Amino acid sequence: MTMAKALNEGLRRAMEANPKVLLMGEDIGKLGGVFRVTDGLQKDFGEDRVIDAPLAESAIIGTAVGLAIRGYRPVTEIQFDGFVYPAFDQIVSQVAKLHSRSSGIYEMGMVIRIPFGGGIGAIEHHSESPEGYFAHTAGLRVVSPSTPNDAYWMIQQSITHPDPIIFCEPKCRYWEKGEVDTDNAPRGLFEASRLREGSDVTVITYGPSVRTCLRAAEAAASEGRSVEVIDARSIAPIDYAPMAASLEKTGRLVVVHEASANASVSSEIVARLSEECFYSLRAPGVRVTGYHTPYPPSKVEEEYLPNVDRILDAIDRVMGFES
């Protein structure tokens, strides 16, 4: 399946399993969403469960808060990553805090789907990476699939989880195909995955950058360097155990994502692993990220996004330190 189709099938399965699961978002019903992730679901489940919402992200999330309080399982779609900001106050002030504020009386079992990242020739507000804002906020869980199989299972796991989930979907991977096992979940929602074994360098990434890192690892192998690639999958919480185990073996760390390096997920990963694996390190951790600028015009986005050459350069840098 493509990732978009895997998400569609995952949503369908969740809606079949629980009549209190409902979808809300702009153009998700008759149109099936801008990326057609919800295609056909309104036809099969009706307008009461697949709701075309007005152009008002704050109202969409605010309505979902009320539904979650009443025991429903709302799954909201933010049409593009940059459109989440009108709902930011609802997310960080209500969604993230109501469970704690009510001493556990109210559960915020809801999912906020956000197509995120660049690589599709779009402009700012359509190509951004806001995951760090939400990872910083206590009370929110943040995850990102990188394959159709993960997308299929992680959306279902997110819908059944009692905490609010920010579900970041790499839009540049929507149309890439992969095998999907519809019978067996590969791992838990918040578990990292080692995608490639290696002994020289540990590369940690997630979402849209996973495939780029795997290509870089292949290129590095042709130069005689063994690169281990770990897909974090969960951004909040982060599954540090397999990352630390890998770094204790390789001694060298590169972290890759599209968001700016400034106060980012990669900053946290490098800092935490430097603390936990200090005596295993052979070189300081290096980050390969987007630049600390607004997202550029599509003609130059390839210069902005992490690519194979920039990742290989980072591998060269950490390999250049003496043991």
Helices (H), the chain: 3-17, 41-45, 57-69, 88-90, 98-101, 131-135, 148-160, 209-222, 240-250, 265-276, 301-304, 308-319
Q: Which helix (H) or strand (E) holds 278?
A: none
Cα gap 248→99, rounded to integer Å: 38
So which residues are the catalytic ones? 126
Both tokens of 171, joined, read 């839009």
Share of the chain residues as helix, strand and coil, in percent rounded to the nearest 5: 40, 20, 40
Name the 3-class secondary structure at 170.
strand
Report cis status (omega within 30 of 0) of the bond before 296.
no
**Contact by Cβ (8 Å): 125, 80:** yes
For 58-69, letters b (16+ CB in 10 Å) and e give: eebbbbbbebbb
Cα gap 290→117, rounded to integer Å: 10
**Contact by Cβ (8 Å): 50, 22:** yes
For 247-264, letters b (16+ CB in 10 Å) and e give: beebbbbbbbbbbbbeeb
Name the 3-class secondary structure at 163.
coil
